[in-house]
């Protein structure tokens, strides 16, 4: 996990992901800016470095998690989504993806303090409540 994240930090998404700006003459579409992903890993070429590929994979994971969360929240008319787990601690990609989704959809991503320990904290509180 840490090796992939270290590698991805130096990657360039513009070398692997196809964006709205790449496929439209106007450079944008409706409320989607030119930087919105049209196809994850849809622009890979021989010049893409391992770091670029790692960044593309990490971006795909974060965007998928974010969109599934948006779909689930909208289906239940929920506006607040709480991020937990280790992925919530990766600052070079998480905030960018989740902030952009907040711009596109009427939702809010919340990252609580110590989010990476949420499962353990919940289990400890549950055990204490059970006596």
pLDDT, greater one: 32 or 37: 37
**For position 39, what pLDDT does the model report?**
97
Q: Is the pLDDT of residue 25 over 90?
A: no
Contact in structure between 103 and 72 (CB atoms under 8 Å): no
Q: SS3 for 62?
A: helix
Each residue's pLDDT tens digit, 91-130: 999 999 999 999 999 999 999 999 999 999 999 999 999 8
Q: Dihedral of CA 48/54/58/61: which sign?
A: positive
Tokens 């909208």, residue located: 74
For residue 8, the domain's CATH number is: 3.30.420.40
Q: How many domains does the chain have?
A: 1
Write down the mean pLDDT value for the chain: 93
Give 39-86 pLDDT, tens digit per residue.
Answer: 999 999 999 999 999 999 999 999 999 999 999 999 999 999 999 998
List the domain range (segments joined by +) for residue 81.
Answer: 2-130
């Amino acid at each position: 996990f840490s090796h992939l994240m270290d590698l991805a930090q130096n990657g360039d998404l513009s070398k692997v992901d196809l964006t709205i700006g790449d496929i439209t003459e106007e450079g944008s579409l409706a409320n989607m800016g030119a930087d919105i992903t049209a196809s994850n890993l849809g622009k890979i070429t021989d010049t893409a470095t391992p770091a670029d590929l790692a960044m593309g994979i990490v971006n795909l994971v974060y965007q998928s998690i974010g969109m599934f969360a948006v779909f689930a929240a909208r289906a239940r008319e929920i506006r607040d989504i709480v991020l937990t787990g280790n992925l919530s601690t990766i600052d070079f990609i998480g905030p960018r993806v989740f902030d952009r989704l907040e711009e596109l959809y009427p939702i809010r991503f919340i990252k609580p303090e110590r989010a990476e320990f949420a499962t353990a904290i919940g289990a400890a509180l549950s055990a204490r409540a059970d006596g």
